[in-house]
Amino acid sequence: MNPGQLPLLSTCIASLEDSGVDHLLAAFGENPHASSLLAICDQVFPLLEAAMWREGHLDQRLLAQYQAVVREVDDWLKARENDPRHEFVVVIPVADRPRHLHSCLESLATLRQVFPWGRLSVLVADDSGDPDNIREHQETLAGFRARGLDGRYFGQAEQLARLAELEPGHRQALKGVLGEQDARRFWHKGASNMRNISYLELIRGEAAEKQALYWFVDSDQEFRAGDDYALNYLFHLDRLFTRQAVTLFTGKVVGDPPVSPAVMASNFLDDVLAFMTALADADADAPCGFHPRQQERADDAAYHDMADLFGFKGGQHHFDYRCPLSGAHDHRRCLEAYAGRLNGFFDGEHITRQTAYEFQPLAQTRAPARTVYTGNYVFNRAGLEYFIPFAALKLRMAGPVLGRIAAAELGAGFVSANLPMLHKRTVTEAGRSEFRPGIEHQEQYSDISGEFERQYYGDVMLFSMIRLTEQGYPAATLTGESIREVLENVEQEMALRYAEKRQDILAKTRALEQWLDAPGQWWQTCPDALARMRCFTGSMRRSFGDRAAGVCLMSSPAHRRRRLDSMTRALQDYPRERALWRQLLS
C-alpha cells in the first residue's frame, strides 16, 4: 500500500502484529481498486475491534484510531467513480414520540460522523395522531437535514397516495397486510401496518432499483450499544450482504427488554420482593448498600416470565437492584429513587434485568436466525417480499412469527449477529414512554391489560406458526379445518400457562402489599415512596386481576371465537397475499 494514499490505515496495519494482510497490501499497491481495499478492511477492522476490547473494557484511544481509519477509507471509496458499497435506507416508524425520534436521529447523525460508510438516507414513517407531534416530527427531521442527514418525511398524505396507487381489487385483497383504516382517521394504524405501508414507498422508490439495504429501527432506539459509539454497523452490514447470500438480517437490542411488560411481571416482582427483603434488614440512615462492585449479567430472555417456551433455561430466582445514585446517600434516599422508577415498568422498563453489550468477534456470532427483531432488521431488494404478516390483527409477536416463516423459506439466507441497538423505553424525566399502544395511563395507575390480551393471542399465533411450518406452511396448502385445529390446541395450552402465571403475579403482588403495610418497618416514614409503590401494586391488579379488561376478554368464549376465527382466516389468506405482493414487487 502507498502510505500517501491512506496514511492512517497504513500506520494502523503496521501497529498490528501478525495481521496477515501482507499479500493484500501488495495487491492493493499494484492495483488500488475498491475491491482490494475492502478485502484489507475485511481483515483489519475485526482485528482493530478485538484489540479495542482486549482488556474486557473499551480502549478509548484505539476506538478513536478505529473511527479515524474508517473515515479515511470512506473518503477514499467515495472518491472512486464506481463505489461498490450498498446504499442504506433507514426506516423509522414513529407515532407521537418527538423526543424519542430526536434522540434516535441524533444517534444516527453521530454514527454517520464517527463511522461513515457509503450513502445513507432516512425515511421517517409517521403514524401520529397529535398535530403538534406531527409538526414537531417534521421540524426535527428538517433540522437534521440541515445538518447534512439525507431524510424524507412519509406522512399520512404520502401514505394514502401510495395506497391509492394500488388497483382497487389489490387494495381490498391486501387489507390483512395494509389494514383498512378510514382515511379520515388515518393514524395509530399499528406498528405492523405502518411498516408494511412503508414497504410500498420502498418498492416504488429510486433506491429499489439500486444496490440498497433497508434497515428498520424503532424510534425508541439509538445507533449504539452503550455510552460510546463503538459498533461499526454500516460496514459490517454492507460486507455481510456483499460476501454472503443473505436476504434478511436481524440484530437485537441491549438496555430495556424488547418484550411487553405483560410477560415480565412475575420475575420483576421477584426482584422487587428481594429488594424489600434486603431493605428490611438495612438501617434507614445507613450508607446505601445497593452498589455491588460487579453488575449481574442478564442473559438473553432473563427478563421473560416464560423463557422456557423459547428454549431458554431458567436462571436465578431474582436479580439484585443496582442503585444508580452517586455521592453519599442512605437507604431512605435509595428507596425514594427506586420508587420513582418503579412504575416505568408498565412502559417496558425493567430496572433489574437490563441487557448490557458484550463484545464478541462478529464472525463468531453469525448464526441462522428464527426471530425477527422488528426494531432492528435489515433486508435487500429480495427481502421486500417479507412484509409483516397478519398486520391487521394487531397482535404482538409479529416479528417472531415472520421469523419462523423466513427461517423455513430462506434457511441460511436469514441470519443474526451481535449488532444490537440501545433500547430506551422511557423518557427519563417523565419515567414514561411518550406513546405506547395497549397501555392506558390514568391519573394514578397504569393498565396494560389490553397489551396482555394482544400478547396472549400473539403467542397463540407464534406457536401455531411453529407447528404449521413443520407441516410445510405456507408453501403447502392447508385446509381451514386443519389450521383451526392447530390454533385451538395451542390456545388451550397457552390458556393454562397464562392462568398459572397470572395467579403467580397476583400472589406476589399480595406479598408485596404485605411488605408495604408491615407495621414497624422504617419505610412507613417515607410516605411519597410508599404512595408510588402502592400505585405499582394497584396497576398490577388493574392489569392482571380477575376484573382486568384483558383478562375478561381472554376468558370470554365469544371473544375467543372471534379471535380464532380472524386468525384462521388470516392464515388461510396469507399465501394468496404473498402471491399478490410478489406481483407488486415485479
CATH number of the domain residue 112 falls in? 3.90.550.10
> What CA–CA distance (Å, rounded) separates 521 from 240?
58
Residue 129 near residue 121 (C-beta atoms within 8 A): no
pLDDT tens per residue across span 462-517 = 999 999 999 999 999 899 999 999 999 999 999 999 999 999 999 999 999 999 99
146 occurs within a structural domain: yes
DSSP 393: G
Say yes or no to pLDDT of 218 above 90: yes
Given 48, 78, 108, which residue is the final one in a domain? 78
Amino acid at 553: L
34 occurs within a structural domain: yes
DSSP 182: -
Please give the tally of structural domains in the chain. 2
Regarding whether 94 and 65 lie in a shared domain, the answer is no
Residue 112 near residue 67 (C-beta atoms within 8 A): no
586 occurs within a structural domain: no
Say yes or no to pLDDT of 77 above 90: yes
pLDDT at 181: 87
Q: 273: which residues sit within 8 A by CB, 6+ positions away?
A: 318, 508, 511, 512, 515
As a whole number, the mean pLDDT across the chain is 91
> What CA–CA distance (Å, rounded) separates 374 from 377?
6
Stretch 371-393: mean pLDDT: 95
Residue 94 dihedral angles phi and psi, to the nearest 5°: -145, 145
The band of 303, judged by pLDDT with boundaries at 50, 70 and 90, is: confident
pLDDT at 206: 57
> What CA–CA distance (Å, rounded) separates 415 from 367?
6
438 occurs within a structural domain: no
Regarding whether 92 and 74 lie in a shared domain, the answer is no
Regarding whether 165 and 54 lie in a shared domain, the answer is no
Regarding whether 151 and 24 lie in a shared domain, the answer is no
Regarding whether 154 and 55 lie in a shared domain, the answer is no
**Which residues constitute the domain of residue 54?**
7-78
Given 23, 47, 78, which residue is the final one in a domain? 78
Regarding whether 244 and 145 lie in a shared domain, the answer is yes
pLDDT at 425: 82
pLDDT tens per residue across span 41-59 = 999 999 999 999 998 889 9
Q: CA gyration radius for the chain?
A: 25
Regarding whether 217 and 101 lie in a shared domain, the answer is yes
Regarding whether 253 and 370 lie in a shared domain, the answer is yes
Q: What global pTM score does this model have?
A: 0.92
289 occurs within a structural domain: no
**Cα dihedral sign, 233-239-244-246:** positive
Given 58, 78, 98, which residue is the final one in a domain? 78
Regarding whether 162 and 205 lie in a shared domain, the answer is yes
Regarding whether 193 and 59 lie in a shared domain, the answer is no
The DSSP result for 92-120, as a single string, is: EEESS-HHHHHHHHHHHHHHHHHS--S-E
493 occurs within a structural domain: no
pLDDT tens per residue across span 419-468 = 999 998 877 555 666 666 767 777 788 899 889 999 999 999 999 999 99
Closest Cα to residue 452, out of 211, 259, 288?
259
Regarding whether 234 and 115 lie in a shared domain, the answer is yes
